[in-house]
Structures are given as structure tokens and as C-alpha cells.
Amino acid sequence: MLTLLAQESFSHYGAVAVLIMMAVIFAVANLILTHLLGPQKQGKIKGMTYESGMNPVGSARRRFNVRFYIVAMSFLVFDVEIVFLYPWATVFPSLSEHSDLPIVFLGRMLFFVLTTVIAFVYAWRKGVFRYD
């Protein structure tokens, strides 16, 4: 069974592998070609960072607002939830109606969503989504 599945999947993923190879070759060829074809000149003023024509002030690699970090953290909560719900969604419609599996699966999903909703409400009350 497993080997059969692997064989079937392999031939299907073959086209994906070819496409990934072609995409990488395309991107690398473009980057190399444009490097070779264009002129190359450096200069002190030319190498200055563009800041609307003013002399640049300080470095751009500095501390940034913590809000972006919090957004990324709350994204993780939801993304993990969605990833776990995909297998559930593919199985749920085809469960046998004569067993108690559907109600069990629905209960699990609702519990899972409930935990996320708690996190969501907490974040909302904390003002994570408030941008001023």
C-alpha cells in the first residue's frame, strides 16, 4: 500500500520537480545575464542610500516597532490551527453516519476552535489589533 502510494505520488511530483528546476534556472539566468549585460560604475555619491535626495541619517538596520512581532506571534496561533484542521476537513464529510464518529469529530473541532477564540479574544482585549 505504502509503496504503491509512493510510486503514484512520485510520478505526480515529477512535473513539480521539473518546474522547480526550471524556475530556479530561469531566476539564476536572469540575475547572471543582467549582471553581465549592464554597465558597471561605482561612485561615492552614487553609492549613497536614497533618502529623497537628503544625506542619509544613520543606518536603516535599527529597532522596529514591537507590533510587527506581536502580529507574527498571533499569526502562529491561527496558522497552526488551520494546519491541524486540514486533515480534519478532508475526513469529516465522509464519516459513517451510523457511528458516533461525526459528533465526536465535531466536538473536537469546536473545542479546538474554542481554544483559538479564547486566544483571539485575549489578544483583542489586550489591544494587539489596535493600530494608532
The gap from C-alpha 16 to its chain's centroid, in whole angstroms, comes to 19
Give me the least distance between CB of 46 and other proteins, in Å please.
Answer: 8
Give me the least distance between CB of 83 and other proteins, in Å please.
Answer: 8
List 101, 104, 117, 118, residue binding other proteins (CB under 8 A): 117
String marking each residue 21-60 x if it binds other proteins according to CB under 8 A: -xxx-xxx-xx-xxx-xxxxxx---xxxxxxx------xx
Coil, helix or strand at residue 24: helix
Give me the least distance between CB of 47 and other proteins, in Å please.
Answer: 4
The gap from C-alpha 3 to its chain's centroid, in whole angstroms, comes to 31
Give me the least distance between CB of 35 and other proteins, in Å please.
Answer: 5
**62 to 101, contacts with other proteins by CB under 8 A?**
64, 67-68, 71-72, 74-75, 78-79, 82, 85-86, 89-94, 97
Burial of 115 (0-12, 13-18, 19+ CB in 10 A): exposed
Coil, helix or strand at residue 14: helix
CA gap 15, 10 in Å, rounded: 9
